[in-house]
Amino acid sequence: MTHYDVVFSGFGGQGVLFGSQLLAYAAMEAGLQVTWIPSYGPEMRGGTANCTVVISDEEIGAPLMRRPSAVVALNYPSVQKYEPLIAPGGLLLYNASLTLRQPERTDIRCVPIPASDTAAELGTPKLLNMVMLGALLQITGVLPVEAVEQSLEAHLPAHRRDMLETNKLALRRGAELAQTLSVMA
């Protein structure tokens, strides 16, 4: 890997910031260069949020991107906003549980993950971000799931420590879904 960039996008409260930050932490802990730039509306809960993560084994000259190579869309408005912006040959990984229509572009890889449904099956909607992050890791190979699990152990806030194993399970479940569903995409 020389350079990898991804945008995480969704409603505030879906874990966009934490999921993308966890990816950034894991990449730093793997010795890679990283930028993480969050952007969110005035409402942390319910407003839109997105984060740009750039990972490289070389110094990163500019952390912003006009045409991301990958987008993780946790909701339908994010699919609408970012589908046109993804670079040709890029990846749109989207939450099929909350998407009203299939993406239309044929020059990018679109992978539907029923992330909200999977998070609910695992016991809480708050696991949506981990399901999607696990799927991203499986599809892109940017980092191994185990590296992100280690980062999760180091960076999960104290008031969420009781969710550590459940978050790891959600990461692995997302990776399993991606392995199955990306073959069909």
Give pLDDT, residue 41: 63
Q: What pLDDT sits at residue 45? A: 56
pLDDT per residue over 110-123, tens digit each? 999 999 999 999 99
Residue-wise pLDDT for 56-107, tens only, equals 999 998 777 889 999 999 999 999 999 999 999 999 999 999 888 889 999 9
Q: Which CATH architecture has domain 3-184?
A: 3-Layer(aba) Sandwich (3.40)
> Residue 76 class from Cβ within 10 Å (0-12 exposed, 13-18 middle, 19+ buried)?
middle
Contact criterion met (CB below 8 Å) for 131 and 177: yes
All structural domains of the chain with their residue ranges: 3-184
Model confidence at 4: pLDDT above 70 = yes
In this structure, of 6-20, 43-57, 103-117, the range with the lowest mean pLDDT score is: 43-57
Q: What is the pTM of this model?
A: 0.92
